[in-house]
Chains A and B, each alone.
Chain A
Amino acid sequence: SALTQPASVSGSPGQSITISCTGTSSDIGIYNYGSWYQQHPGKAPKLIIYDVSNRPPGVSYRFSGSKSGSTASLTISGLQAEDEADYYCSSYTTSSTWLFGGGTKLTVL
């Protein structure tokens, strides 16, 4: 089944928010393979965090990732209007498959 994310989070410009992603010992808990994707309406997903806490080139430093046990987290600091989007976590699994979270809609108030 899918990784568990909150359906929605919100914050005001300049604030920080954190999105959690809970899995099991068969996915997030066993690998340091957690990744996060940002998706704006009508657009393809974009990788923003890989290997739990690494940012690809060109991704803002305001995006950071961490993991504790079977829960990965994405933190966005200094919220900006352009951060309003859907965010998905993902992990490789011991079954040689991939799982995504259900997605979290971020609203910038």
Chain B
Amino acid sequence: EVQLLESGGGFVQPGGSLRLSCAASGFTFSSYAMSWVRQAPGKGLEWVSGISGSDMNTYDADSVKGRFTISRDNSKNTLYLLMNSLRVEDTAVYYCAKVESWNYFDYWGQGTLVTVSS
């Protein structure tokens, strides 16, 4: 059974940093691209970042480019999102998602809440 478990969310002041983790199990982690998708309170889904399985190519939404860094440790079956220079508008539930065929998101974690506020 595929499981994705996010952690690392919390409260941070504007300009601060936070690192999210997503522990994966139930599939060959290194064979699949992974992504982070966020959802601000009461708003829709927004794709944030993606990373390929083994060659570690990364892609970011313009809204986070230069501030967020997606990475993965295939030996630990773990996906990360390092978030720097956080803004109030980054407040959201952050989901990690498994990417199938570099196309759609077939499994999602339960999400972790990041709150950026002074």
Contact = CB atoms under 8 A, between A and B. Distances in A.
A36 to B, nearest CB: 9
Contact of A97 (B61, B103, B105, B106): B61
Interface residues of B, number: 22
Taking chain A's interface residues, is the majority helix, strand, or loop, or is none over half, making it mixed? strand
B29 to A, nearest CB: 19
Interface stretch (B15-23, B39-47, B66-74, B77-85): B39-47
Contacts of A92: 102-103
Interface stretch (A11-19, A72-80, A100-108): A100-108
A98 B44 contact: no
A94 B114 CA distance: 30
A51 B104 contact: yes
A22 interface: no
Interface residues of A, number: 24
Nearest to B44: A103
A45 interface: yes
Given A35-B103, A45-B95, A88 B111 contact: no
A88 B44 CA distance: 8
B35 A2 contact: no
Interface of A: 2, 33, 35, 37, 39, 44-47, 50-51, 56, 86, 88, 90, 92, 96-103
Given A97-B59, A97-B61, 9 more contacts: A45-B95, A46-B108, A47-B106, A50-B103, A51-B103, A51-B104, A86-B44, A92-B102, A98-B35
